[in-house]
Amino acid sequence: MHRFANPTRFVALARAVQPWAMTIALATLFAGLWFGLLASPPDYQQGETVRIMYVHVPAAWMAMFCYTGMAGASAVALVWKHAVAHVTARATAPIGAAFTFLALVTGSLWGKPMWGTWWVWDARLTSVLILFFLYLGYMALENAFDDRARGQRAAAILAIVGAVNVPIIKFSVDWWNTLHQPASVVRLDGPSIHPSMLTPLILMAVGYTAFYIWVLCLRVRADINMSKVRALKLRNA
C-alpha cells in the first residue's frame, strides 16, 4: 500500500473507483428504500414504525465503520508519515459525523413510540453520543493550530485514543443492561432476523458504504488538489 502514499497515484485510484461507488450507492440505496419502505412487512409488535430501522441501523454501523477507518488512517499517518493518510482521515470525519448524527436522530424518532421517550442515558446511546463528539473534536482540533502539521498530529492522536469507544458501542448491550436489543444480524449462529427485513438492511448497509467511498473519493481528490494549489501559490510568492 506504500505506493498509494503518492498523492498522484491515490487520486488516479480515487478517480477510477468513484463512478463505480456512485453507481452502487444509488442502485442499492434506491433498492433498499423500496424494500424497506414499501415491500417489507410491518413488525407484529412495532407496526410501521419498524421501517425507521432500515435507515437507523445501517447509519449506526457506518458511524462505527467510519471512525474505525479514521483511526486507522490516523495511525498510518503517525507511524509511516503518509500525507494521504492524514487527508483520508480528515475527509472521513465529516462523513462519519453525518452518519452518527443520522443514527442519533432516527434513534430518537424510533425510541419515542417504542420506549416512550426521545432519549435515555443508557450505555449505547451515551457511547454513540460520545462518538459524535469525538468526530466534532477531531475536526475542531485539526483546525485549531496555525501550524497545519501540529493540528494533524493532535487530531490523529485524539482519533486513535477515541477508538476505544468503538468496541464499547458494539458490546454495550452485552456488558450492561440497556434498552437496545442484542445483536440480531452479526451473530455466530447466523442472523435471527427474517429475510424480508434482512434484505433491505443489507442493501442499505451496502448503499451507505458505497456512498461513503464515493464521497470520500470526492473529498480526498478536492483536498489534494487544494494542497497543490496552495503549494503553487507559495512557490510563486
Domain span at residue 75? 19-177+193-236
Q: Among 38, 169, 56, 159, which Cα is nearest to 114's?
A: 56
Quick check: is 184 in a domain? no
pLDDT of residue 198: 87
Quick check: is 183 in a domain? no
pLDDT of residue 192: 55
User: Taking the CB of residue 176, how many other CB atoms lie within 10 A of it?
Assistant: 13
CA triple 9-11-12, angle to 5 deg? 65
SS3 call for 23 = helix
Mean pLDDT of 143-153: 90
Nearest-angstrom CA–CA distance, 170 and 186:
11
Of the listed ranges 35-39, 45-49, 75-79, 94-98, the least confidently predicted one is: 45-49
Which carries the bigger pLDDT value, residue 37 or residue 71? 71
Nearest-angstrom CA–CA distance, 188 and 202:
17
Nearest-angstrom CA–CA distance, 17 and 20:
6
State the total domains in the chain.
1
* pLDDT of 139 above 60: yes
pLDDT of residue 5: 67
Q: How many helices (H) and strands (E) does the chain have?
A: 7, 0
pLDDT of residue 235: 79
Q: pLDDT tens for residues 88-116?
A: 999 999 999 999 999 999 999 988 888 88
pLDDT of residue 190: 47
Which carries the bigger pLDDT value, residue 28 or residue 49? 28
Of the listed ranges 87-96, 155-164, 191-200, the least confidently predicted one is: 191-200
Of the listed ranges 94-98, 197-201, 204-208, the least confidently predicted one is: 197-201
Mean pLDDT of 61-66: 96
Q: pLDDT tens for residues 65-79?
A: 999 999 999 999 999
pLDDT of residue 195: 81
Quick check: is 11 in a domain? no
SS3 call for 47 = strand
Band the pLDDT of 206: cuts 50, 70, 90.
Answer: very high
Which carries the bigger pLDDT value, residue 110 or residue 154? 154
Quick check: is 10 in a domain? no
Band the pLDDT of 189: cuts 50, 70, 90.
Answer: very low
What secondary structure does DSSP assign to 60-99, as a single string?
HHHHHHHHHHHHHHHHHHHHH--HHHHHHHHHHHHHHHHH
Quick check: is 59 in a domain? yes
* pLDDT of 29 above 70: yes
pTM of the predicted model as reported, rounded to 2 decimal places: 0.91
Determine what percent of the chain is predicted with pLDDT higher than 70.
Answer: 91
